[in-house]
């Protein structure tokens, strides 16, 4: 029978080596067991060795511990286990295994082996400080059947986990247990296990935060917000963000303020122009208390009763009257004198200062000549003044002409002095 045992042992060892090779080549990106990934599922092969146990007919404890000829190895998956991480490195679980006993030490046999264990594991990862290589210790109890004889066992063992991939959720586990019993029909033995473990976590939204610590367990989120999302990435979590899909400011509960005036865009009537709270975010550039959109002179400090424009003073009005006397034309022409151009430049400055003022430009002549001729001449003179002011930049909408020829003299046409004053332009203000 000895050759048969050697043949079976050689075959088992080959299968054992093949499985080791398969496990090391097997790689999935599926962290070592912890509170974020608490569930571990294990599948692998096992070997039962009764020789180095110190019982009658066998070797002393640990004698020929690595003599594979004494190992009863299953070449197929024969161990299933599941463990749940609790806290502080401790896990609890259960494990089922089967085997075919072909030898008790040097004694040939042909018995079935069935085993169920309850396990308590302690992972040494916090001592080793490694994310991949993690030794562990294990104690527990179980029930095993050799052939048809069953007994209870106390288990004590140790093992190594090696976790693969970036996320460390698939690992290789090698473990050895000594199973001791005080029952008459029990068989003290070592059980060695090698296999692959997979980790599963209770993280419903797969954001890396355990459901029990995730305030938004069904929506992927960020650790800084205890698992709740920040969709727009503005640093305000969605459930506290009044504008969760538009990046905004924490001071405005996550809503944007495009113009930076401290008023959220949704409440800002002028969201792209920096403004004032009293005007719902719209500006008042001249600071006269009238929002620019309602201010006819938004760049000049004005009066509310004058639609935001400054009111022309009596002094300025008197000056315009003086200027009227200085705007003169050559006889029988609509050509402005040089002095008249200087006076019109002053009119231009006044109109710029009071942009809401509209002006009617009246053209007049003296009494020399035919009535129709003088009417046409007065029209040309008024047009000449209007043209000069518009060319300087006054909008034509603020100006209009009126021509009266020789019909409205202000002095006597009997003297050259009187006629000079009658050849004039007059400004009528519409404020």
pLDDT at residue 34 tops 60 = no
Q: How confident is the model at residue 64 (pLDDT cuts 50, 70, 90)?
A: confident
Structure confidence at residue 135 (pLDDT): 93
Return the closest-CA partner of residue 402 out of 352, 348, 350, 361.
Answer: 361
Q: How confident is the model at residue 31 (pLDDT cuts 50, 70, 90)?
A: very low
Does the reported pTM lie above 0.85?
no
The structure tokens 């332009």 sit at 425
Q: Which residues in the chain are classed under CATH 3.30.1330.60?
A: 314-430
Structure confidence at residue 409 (pLDDT): 93
Structure confidence at residue 128 (pLDDT): 77
Taking a C-beta distance cutoff of 8 angstroms, is the pair 30, 73 a contact? no
Structure confidence at residue 414 (pLDDT): 92
pLDDT at residue 97 tops 80 = yes
Structure confidence at residue 13 (pLDDT): 40
- What mean pLDDT do residues 245-249 have? 94
Q: Which residues have a Cβ under 8 Å from the Cβ of 214 and sit 6 or more positions away? A: 203, 204, 205, 207, 221, 226, 227
Structure confidence at residue 209 (pLDDT): 84
- What mean pLDDT do residues 235-242 have? 94
**Range in 126-135, 171-180, 314-323 with the lowest mean pLDDT:** 126-135
Taking a C-beta distance cutoff of 8 angstroms, is the pair 179, 144 a contact? yes
CB atoms within 10 A of CB 43: 14
What dihedral angle (degrees, nearest 10) is formed by the CA atoms of 124, 125, 128, 129?
-160
- What mean pLDDT do residues 396-411 have? 92
- What mean pLDDT do residues 117-137 have? 86
pLDDT at residue 249 tops 90 = yes
pLDDT at residue 23 tops 50 = no
**What percent of the chain is predicted at pLDDT more than 70?**
90
- What mean pLDDT do residues 115-125 have? 91
CA distance linking residue 240 with residue 256, whole number of Å? 14
**Range in 137-141, 300-304, 377-381, 421-425 with the lowest mean pLDDT:** 421-425
Q: How confident is the model at residue 359 (pLDDT cuts 50, 70, 90)?
A: very high
**Range in 53-62, 233-242, 307-316, 320-329 with the lowest mean pLDDT:** 53-62
CATH code, residues 2-200: 2.40.160.20
pLDDT tens-digit map of 263-291: 999 999 999 999 999 999 999 999 999 99
CA distance linking residue 297 with residue 157, whole number of Å? 91
Question: Among 58-72, 211-225, 241-255, which range has the highest average pLDDT?
Answer: 241-255
Q: How confident is the model at residue 35 (pLDDT cuts 50, 70, 90)?
A: low
Task: Tell how far CA 303 is from the center of its chain.
Answer: 47
pLDDT at residue 365 tops 70 = yes
Taking a C-beta distance cutoff of 8 angstroms, is the pair 112, 87 a contact? no
Structure confidence at residue 24 (pLDDT): 36
Q: Which helix (H) or strand (E) holds 171?
A: strand 170-180
The structure tokens 């264990």 sit at 117
Structure confidence at residue 3 (pLDDT): 32
Taking a C-beta distance cutoff of 8 angstroms, is the pair 139, 120 a contact? yes
pLDDT tens-digit map of 294-335: 998 998 998 988 889 898 999 999 999 999 888 888 878 888
Structure confidence at residue 33 (pLDDT): 52
Pick the CATH number of 314-430 from 3.30.1330.60, 3.65.10.10, 1.10.132.20, 1.10.287.470: 3.30.1330.60
Q: Which residues in the chain are classed under CATH 2.40.160.20?
A: 2-200
Q: What is the mean pLDDT of the chain?
A: 86
């Amino acid at each position: 029978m000895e050759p048969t045992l050697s043949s079976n042992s050689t075959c088992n060892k080959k299968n054992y080596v093949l499985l080791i090779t398969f496990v090391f080549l097997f790689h999935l990106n599926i962290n070592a067991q912890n509170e974020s990934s608490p569930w571990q599922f294990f599948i692998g092969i096992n070997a039962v060795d009764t020789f180095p146990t110190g019982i009658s007919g066998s070797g002393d404890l640990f004698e020929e511990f690595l003599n594979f000829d004494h190992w009863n190895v299953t070449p197929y998956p024969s161990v299933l286990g599941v463990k749940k991480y609790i806290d502080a490195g401790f896990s609890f679980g259960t494990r089922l295994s089967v085997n075919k006993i072909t030898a008790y030490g040097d004694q040939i046999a042909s018995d079935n082996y069935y085993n169920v264990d309850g396990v308590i594991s302690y992972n040494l990862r916090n001592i080793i400080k490694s994310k991949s290589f993690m030794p562990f210790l294990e104690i527990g109890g179980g029930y095993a059947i050799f052939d048809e004889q069953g007994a209870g066992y106390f288990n004590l063992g140790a093992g190594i986990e090696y976790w693969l991939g970036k996320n460390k959720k698939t690992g290789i586990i090698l473990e050895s247990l000594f199973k001791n019993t005080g029952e008459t029909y029990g068989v003290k033995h070592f059980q060695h296990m090698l296999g692959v473990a997979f980790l599963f976590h209770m993280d419903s939204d797969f954001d890396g935060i355990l459901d029990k610590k995730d305030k938004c367990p069904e929506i992927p989120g960020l650790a800084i917000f205890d698992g709740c999302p920040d969709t727009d990435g503005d640093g305000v979590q969605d459930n506290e963000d009044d504008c969760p899909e538009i990046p905004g400011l924490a001071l405005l509960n996550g809503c944007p303020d495009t113009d930076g005036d401290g008023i959220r865009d949704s409440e800002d009537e002028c969201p792209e122009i920096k403004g004032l709270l009293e005007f719902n975010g719209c500006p008042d550039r001249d600071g006269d208390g009238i929002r620019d959109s309602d201010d006819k002179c938004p760049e000049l400090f004005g009066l509310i009763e004058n639609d935001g424009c400054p009111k022309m003073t009596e002094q300025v009005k008197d000056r315009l009257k003086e200027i009227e006397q200085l705007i003169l034309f050559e006889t029988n022409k609509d050509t402005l004198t040089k002095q008249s151009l200087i006076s019109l430049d002053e009119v231009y400055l006044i109109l710029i200062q009071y942009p809401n003022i509209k002006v009617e430009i009246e053209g007049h002549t003296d009494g020399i000549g035919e009535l129709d001729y003088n009417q046409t001449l007065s029209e040309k003179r008024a047009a000449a003044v209007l043209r000069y002011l518009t060319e300087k930049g006054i909008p034509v909408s603020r100006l209009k002409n009126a021509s009266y020829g020789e019909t409205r003299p202000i002095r006597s046409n009997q003297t050259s002095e009187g006629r000079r004053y009658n050849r004039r332009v007059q400004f009528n203000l519409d404020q």
